Structure 1
Amino acid sequence: MKLRPLAAAFVPALVATLLTGPPAVAADGRYSAEIRRTEYGIPHVSAKDHGGLGFGYGYAFAQDNLCVMASWVVTLRGERSRFFGPDAKSDDPVRPVANLTSDLYHKSVADSGVVRRLLASPAPLGPSADLRELVNGYAAGYNRYLDDTGVANLPDPACRGKEWVGPITAEDVWANLLDLNRMSGGSALKEAIVGGDDEDEGPRRAPGSNAWALGREATRGGNGMLLADPHFPWNGIRRFYQVQLTIPGVLDVSGASLYGTPVVQIGHTRNVAWTHTVSHAQRFTLYRLELAKGDPTTYLIDGRPEPMGRQEVEVPLQDGGFVSRTLFTSRYGPVLAAGRGGGYAYALADPNAANLRSADEWLAMSKAADLPGLRAAQDRYQGLPFVYTLATDVGGTASFADASVVPHVTDALARRCARPAPDPSLDAFVLDGSTSACLWGKDADAVVPGIFGPGSRPGLTRADYVANSNNSPWMTNPAAPLTGYDQVWGAVRTDVELRPRVSLDMIDRRLKGADGLGAPGFTLETLQATARSKRNYGFELMRPDLAALCREHRELRATSGERVDVRAACRTLTRWDGRATLDGEGAVLWRQFFDGLQRPGKPGEPQQPWWRVPFDPEQPLTTPRGLRRDATTVRQALADAALFFQANRLPLTLTTGQAQHYGSVPIPGCTEGEGCFDRVRNSGPLGKDGRYPDVNTGSSFMMAVELTPDGPRTRTILTYSLSTDTSSPHHADQTALFSRGGWVTERFTDAEIRSDPRLRVTTLTG
């Protein structure tokens, strides 16, 4: 694809000055915006209209992260094989695949024309006029920065002078928004769709999050408070970018956007705050197609043959050649290249396959004056692709809803139409595609056919709190369990898991004043302290039994059969306070032991044979618990952990600060499996040198906000900092602050922004 040159309209001058408000739109209709950067480089973008706002935002983002977006545009256009070779891994931060697999998938999406069809549709199916202006301005602002700077002079060495860097189009921004919406559907199944031969890299792990919305009964001041703690990748296009966007009298929102998207996904206004966590609802279904005899490209519907559609996809290579592949489609969606056999094929039905509504929904939420207005925005667009919404307002009402796009599969339909899965690892309903009686259902209040409407989704509104840590809606608030919804929304009466359990325990202790932080109820300060407490809940639940095991045994037999003296390891573990702080002596040894517990058991053994008390649905917040001291799995795991440290001459007191880093910055925290609220994920196990590979996922944009009648009080931390450019002063400054346990005091009002002695102001027209 030949990159188009910048239009001559992008030539006007850039002026740096201090102004009291956003500039007016220029008389000739050009874009105009103001970018005010406060401490840590955080941009506050203001303009008189949506086009100017997008222009300023695109420019500011490109200043900090152009290389990431430039690489991702190559991905969305299906050109990675051309620039980087077909066998190298793609830049997808959630689950990278071979470039050729990535290109075939993304080229098929681009060639399908789905974005152009949606852009030709009226709102709410297509974008609103405001959103179109915002996206057009965003692309123009990005291009303006690139034109001002020049590819050869980019400050970031990651893409300076590279042939794959060039201007972007508004359609690239739309394609990024569409791919975000498909992230838990078609985009997660690239190999299955196009027939990639990538080796299996383990389970597909979606990003996670923590979220609390606190009502007036849970806060000391009677105001609404919110904790946002999304756990998204620390590298690539799914990082968050911190920003404030303002159009006087129209929009004033502060929070974070995922890279390349011109709307705030997690944030607050003066009166409302909201955040998201990844929903447990099913994101797609598969349909089993009964193939016509003798014709593998025709399937039967209600006994009648229906030919598959064909799509010829061509991907350019580095040597000037091309790879071509024929993909097939059905009335349900793409026919999977994987899973064919025995007279059947499988088609993917993804309700987000043609969804651009999420961006308009986030934009409308950012303009909502109160909690009912935020709900109305969600009811109008129904476009959030895979997330719950937790929100609160200045009046102290807390709200939870799974307002995401969910295929309309009732329990009755699932029972009637269920068919065997082609791959047991796929977490999806498989329905009978040979009969129209198994099509998704319809709700009268749904914006598009085949999804649940607002009246059918799980939700809860309370004056105390709602919380979620990627568990199902069931335990949103244990005082009011959510039940009675269809299984497609998530299970009830199943193991809540450790991270959601410690989350609810943290809230409960704070409301009782039993956590050592003073009188009952939340303040902004105790909310911050609670969120960063670094508790390892798995250790807390097992510590008494571990101490007993250590008293009973001086030696234990490792998996290898070797007998290991575990006394020194036991002393380290029993002295540890159970918190994954930088100086926690025992945190790394514990994780090594706990990881050893995760080894697959023998057929017929319990999935988690180390728990002394198994899960009881009547006691979901206190089971499972304890450690089975008599279990071979437990004893071997402790011996193996001690042996690993001994064999590699590592100190048993190795701390998190010594072992866990992001670049050169030590990172506190522990893992999902251990039961850590502010969890981290490394790309591999502990090395023989006593270091984990760099952190690649975890708390990303943390926001604690109190909505008072006098305005919001907010603390934030962008864990990996604002810029991916290693030459930027904002490449690791917030990361160092996060490492020390610090927060940034947000500047929201004009007076707060102007009072920053580090203020830098850019007036931009073009």
Structure 2
Amino acid sequence: MTSQQVGVDVRNADGTLGRVTRTLWSTRYGPITTSLQGVPLPWVVSAHAVRDVNMDNLRALNTWFRLDQAKDVHDVVNTLETTQGVPFFNTVASDRKGNALYADIQATANITDEHARSCLTMTGQLLFNPGLRPSNVPPVSIFDGKRSAYDWPDDPNAVAPGLMDPHKQPRLIRSDFVGNANDSAWLANPEQPLSFPKVMGDTVTPRSLRTQELILTARNRINGTDGLPGKGFTPQTMGKLLFAGNSRAADLALNATVTACRNAPFGLVLVDGNLVNVSEACPILDAWKDHDYTADSRGSWLFANYWVRLLGGQSIDKLPWRVAFDPKDPVHTPNSLVSGN
């Protein structure tokens, strides 16, 4: 291990400048950390080092250059597979033949599900497997650095040592739509769910409201049921959809929220130990019929602040829903907030 002293000038409470110094440690794997994704990893018996798959990734230059030369989505896939230079992005593309591509082919550590089962520490198992870690925390893999067998194995199909075979990484080409809203690749299109190694994200788990909104918006546009002219996508309809402000949270929870608001005894709700009169909010929320975020919408402002407080940093499946998450209907569940809670 190596150490480095890092000092930063800070303003003291009396307005004077002082200097705070910290010792940062590093290993051959990477820098030492004491937390990751909000999960504490205290340095007691063991230290946790972060290994970065992109530390030596200069291949991205080749990736961007060849993407600029791609003629169709198949060229894009070939570029992603043969360069593996995308550091941590999703790739979405369409071509003049009417094909839509979603791909999560990138520089990914070669941590197959089998390798993870064999090599994860006890802490790593808790943070890697869905159901054990918090649902809003992405998979974190922690291996025992003392054993070389637990290192990232080399794959002959990958372009660099320690990288995952790009053919095992998710991609989908369709003629209707594909998309991603910062969830895993599982539901790039719900008609064709994808499977992939767990290190690249979860499958068969609740989707974010952004993902639900994306899928529903695309479906409605294709079917022509969104109030816009015609069916399918044009530059004009894409522009309208891009700047639409519908709240999926309001679609799922506003009616129950209004009911709970109106049923509060004397309009009083206990907030941080204080009784707050919310009776004036009830008709404003009820009048927010279109669920659109606009500059003159009082209901959207109230609901947005209420929703953030209601979530409290947890994922939506932890809220009190009458209908729980159903992996067979991940776009519409969970739903129906319990208004009496």
> Same fold per TM (> 0.5)?
yes
Q: Within the alignment, does 1:582 sit opposite 2:292 as a pair?
A: no
Amino acid at match of 2:95: D
SS at match of 2:297: coil
Q: How does 1:104-123 map to 2 (within 5 A)?
A: none
The RMSD of aligned alpha carbons is: 3.0
Give the Cα separation in 2 of the matches to 1:387 and 1:533. 24
Q: How does 1:747-762 map to 2 (within 5 A)?
A: none
Give the Cα separation in 2 of the matches to 1:466 and 1:368. 19
Which one of 443, 458, 465 corresponds to residue 170 of structure 2? 458
Deviation at 1:559, TM superposition (A): 2.2
Amino acid at match of 2:336: G
CA, structure 1 residues 489+572, in 2 after alignment: closer, same or farther (shift >3 Å)? Answer: same
Amino acid at match of 1:615: F
Which one of 313, 321, 336 corresponds to residue 611 of structure 1? 321
Partner of 2:74: 372
CA-to-partner distance for each residue in 1:385-419, whole Å, 9 max, x for gaps? 11111111111111111111111111111111111
* Unaligned residue ranges in structure 2 (runs of 5+): 11-16, 36-41, 128-136
Which one of 465, 468, 479 corresponds to residue 191 of structure 2? 479
Partner of 2:52: 350
Give the Cα separation in 2 of the matches to 1:600 and 1:537. 17
Give the Cα separation in 1 of the matches to 2:138 and 2:234. 43
Contact 2:106–2:166 under 8 Å retained in 1: no
Contact 1:545–1:627 under 8 Å retained in 2: yes
Percentage of matched positions with identical amino acids? 30
Which one of 307, 312, 334 corresponds to residue 594 of structure 1? 307
Between Structure 1 and Structure 2, the one with more strand by share is 1
Q: Within the alignment, does 1:399 sit opposite 2:110 as a pair?
A: no
Partner of 1:621: 331
Partner of 1:532: 243
CA-to-partner distance for each residue in 1:81-101, whole Å, 9 max, x for gaps? xxxxxxxxxxxxxxxxxxxxx
SS at match of 1:394: coil
CA, structure 1 residues 562+378, in 2 after alignment: closer, same or farther (shift >3 Å)? Answer: closer
CA, structure 1 residues 395+560, in 2 after alignment: closer, same or farther (shift >3 Å)? Answer: closer
Partner of 2:145: 433
Which one of 402, 408, 411 corresponds to residue 110 of structure 2? 408
Give the Cα separation in 1 of the matches to 2:286 and 2:20. 61
CA, structure 1 residues 314+626, in 2 after alignment: closer, same or farther (shift >3 Å)? Answer: closer
Contact 2:81–2:167 under 8 Å retained in 1: no
Deviation at 1:544, TM superposition (A): 2.7
Q: Within the alignment, does 1:506 sit opposite 2:180 as a pair?
A: no
* Unaligned residue ranges in structure 1 (runs of 5+): 1-307, 632-766
SS at match of 2:236: helix
Contact 1:513–1:519 under 8 Å retained in 2: yes
SS at match of 1:468: coil
Contact 2:204–2:327 under 8 Å retained in 1: yes
Partner of 1:382: 84
Give the Cα separation in 1 of the matches to 2:74 and 2:198. 27
- By relative contact order (CA 8 Å, sep 6+), the higher-ranking structure is 1
CA, structure 1 residues 322+496, in 2 after alignment: closer, same or farther (shift >3 Å)? Answer: closer
- Higher-Rg structure is 1
Q: Within the alignment, does 1:329 sit opposite 2:27 as a pair?
A: yes
Size of the aligned set, in residue pairs, is: 315
Give the Cα separation in 1 of the matches to 2:186 and 2:138. 23
CA, structure 1 residues 313+357, in 2 after alignment: closer, same or farther (shift >3 Å)? Answer: farther
Partner of 1:521: 232
Give the Cα separation in 2 of the matches to 1:496 and 1:324. 40
SS at match of 1:467: coil
After TM superposition, the score normalised by the length of structure 2 is 0.82
Give the Cα separation in 2 of the matches to 1:324 and 1:478. 48
Deviation at 1:530, TM superposition (A): 1.4
CA-to-partner distance for each residue in 1:655-693, whole Å, 9 max, x for gaps? xxxxxxxxxxxxxxxxxxxxxxxxxxxxxxxxxxxxxxx
Partner of 1:418: 120
Partner of 1:361: 63
Partner of 1:223: none
After TM superposition, the score normalised by the length of structure 1 is 0.38
Give the Cα separation in 2 of the matches to 1:555 and 1:333. 55
Contact 1:361–1:377 under 8 Å retained in 2: yes
CA, structure 1 residues 463+340, in 2 after alignment: closer, same or farther (shift >3 Å)? Answer: same
Q: Within the alignment, does 1:341 sit opposite 2:39 as a pair?
A: no
Amino acid at match of 2:329: Q
CA-to-partner distance for each residue in 1:419-451, whole Å, 9 max, x for gaps? 144997795211122222211122222110111
CA, structure 1 residues 426+315, in 2 after alignment: closer, same or farther (shift >3 Å)? Answer: farther
CA-to-partner distance for each residue in 1:19-72, whole Å, 9 max, x for gaps? xxxxxxxxxxxxxxxxxxxxxxxxxxxxxxxxxxxxxxxxxxxxxxxxxxxxxx
Contact 2:317–2:325 under 8 Å retained in 1: no
Which one of 146, 160, 167 corresponds to residue 448 of structure 1? 160
Contact 1:418–1:431 under 8 Å retained in 2: yes
Contact 1:597–1:610 under 8 Å retained in 2: no
Partner of 1:488: 199
